[in-house]
Amino acid sequence: MSEVLTRDETGSAPRPARRRTIRLPGARTAIGAAGAVLLLALPFYVDRFWLEAGLFAMAAAIGAIGLNLLTGATGQLSMGHAFFLAVGAYGYCVFAADGGDGLTGLGLPTWLAAVLAVAVSGIAGGLFSPIAGRLRGAYLGIATLALIFIGQHVLFNARDLTGGFNGRDVPPLSLFGLTFDDRELLVAAVPFGSAEKLWYVGLLLLLGCGLFARGVLRGRPGRAMNAIRDHRIAAGVIGVPVARYRAAVFVLSSMYAGLAGVLLALVFQRTVPDYFGITLSLDYLAMIVIGGLGSVAGAVVGAVFVSLLPQLLTRYSDTLPLVSDPGMGGIAPGEAARYLYGAAVVAVVLFLPGGLVRVAARLRVKPRPGATPGEER
């Protein structure tokens, strides 16, 4: 009893800590606002290469957020993320194309096609959910490998839907009479092509997806998901329907992947089956491990890291030692990027459990111990 009482007295330290957290958001919102202005202004200043790289990173970030909900927050490994990306990308093509190129196309309005593509990814995830609900952790990872193989087989052979080996063209998105294609549109004397226009769509989607995932993670479902990851048996005993939650998270994560697939297709303007292989799934796993498991920020940071690295290396291959253009005998930029983030995964696992976002968190927390000595007294 006396121990409880003494703790009560020393525990009055939270007050200074609270004042500190009020001041912090001020600095944080300032940084956030500066970042937002920068992101909004980028299309006016940087060229197409950087915009496409950025869009690619945004699409990857959406997909990585989805995978982080499943693998990071719920502890369910998935190797099949690329499959759901493919469902989204090809689903969009099928719904939106008008059938002019001889492939199946329903000719729906493109925004509806995008929504339906995400829904179809969710349904695909739902079809797999009886398995996703029953298997845990690594076992689910092995089961989802099957999705990759089935997906690759279908992509190469269902020619009417996917165009086979050569893939198919992606119809440009059009919203409120604005078409996101390469017809140039002058905004403040800057020519806006597809990349510039899509940039804002990408930003908006990423923001929406990020906020939604954050709400889920911080709310009741997030607590249940973390409980399933940390103490599966206890989670059930506390009243969390474990199988139902696992299945639901799997569906949600598939929908995120589907949306990422749609955005990727719009950026690339062509989908090819080779892209949606097992390496893509591994890339996504690398993203969330490098960035930080279980958080939205981690997924975004990891996605930016993993998807920009090869682009940067390609861009600067002539100035970097050891890296040369593809086919020139040295290490190709793509390969070099793989080595680098392979090393990054190992380094993060060894030295930074919690990922790159932990570094930021640690820097932010650092002033604390000195400021509240009373707490530990």
Partner 1 sequence: MEEHDRVTTEATGRQAAAHATAQEAAAQATAQAAVPSGIPSLDVRDVTVRFAGLTALDAVSFTVRPGTVHALIGPNGAGKSTCFNVLSGVCRPAAGSVRLGKHELTGLPPHRIAGLGVARIFQNLALPPHATVEDCLLLGRHRLTRAGFLAAGLRLPSAAREDRRHRERVREIAAFVGLERQLDRPAGSLPYGQQKLAELARALCMEPRILLLDEPVAGMTAAERRRTAAVVAGVRDSLGISIVLVEHDMGVVMRLADAVTVLDFGRRIADGAPADVQNDPAVVRAYLGERADPEETAS
The binding site for partner 1 (CB under 8 A) comprises 1-4, 7-8, 11-12, 14, 212-213, 215-216, 218-224, 226-227, 230-231, 233-234, 236-242, 248, 252
Cβ proximity to partner 1: between 220 and 327 the closer is 220
Cβ proximity to partner 1: between 28 and 218 the closer is 218
Q: What is the smallest separation between the CB atom of 11 and partner 1, expressed in angstroms?
A: 4
Cβ proximity to partner 1: between 225 and 313 the closer is 225
Cβ proximity to partner 1: between 12 and 166 the closer is 12
Rounded Cα distance between 194 and 300, Å, is 23
Q: What is the smallest separation between the CB atom of 248 and partner 1, expressed in angstroms?
A: 6
Cβ proximity to partner 1: between 334 and 354 the closer is 354
**Which tokens hold the place of 123?**
């349904």
| Residues in CB range of 55: below 8 A, 6 or more apart | 195, 198, 199, 202, 263, 267
Q: What is the smallest separation between the CB atom of 360 and partner 1, expressed in angstroms?
A: 16
Is 102 exposed, middle or buried, given 0-12, 13-18 or 19+ CB atoms closer than 10 A? exposed
Cβ proximity to partner 1: between 295 and 311 the closer is 295
Buried-exposed string 127-139: b where 16+ CB fall within 10 A, e elsewhere? ebbebbbebbeee
Q: What is the smallest separation between the CB atom of 133 and partner 1, expressed in angstroms?
A: 12
The residues pairing with 179 across neighbouring beta strands, listed in sequence order, are 174
Rounded Cα distance between 67 and 84, Å, is 11
| Residues in CB range of 221: below 8 A, 6 or more apart | 245, 248
Q: What is the smallest separation between the CB atom of 232 and partner 1, expressed in angstroms?
A: 10
Cβ proximity to partner 1: between 124 and 235 the closer is 235
Neighbours of 369 (CB within 10 A): 10
Q: Is the distance from CB of 34 to CB of 183 less than 8 angstroms?
A: no
Rounded Cα distance between 106 and 114, Å, is 13
Q: What is the smallest separation between the CB atom of 65 and partner 1, expressed in angstroms?
A: 11
Crossing angle for the helix pair 242-268 and 48-67, nearest 10 degrees?
170
Q: What is the smallest separation between the CB atom of 1 and partner 1, expressed in angstroms?
A: 6
Q: What is the smallest separation between the CB atom of 2 and partner 1, expressed in angstroms?
A: 6
Crossing angle for the helix pair 194-218 and 14-45, nearest 10 degrees?
160
Rounded Cα distance between 94 and 24, Å, is 48
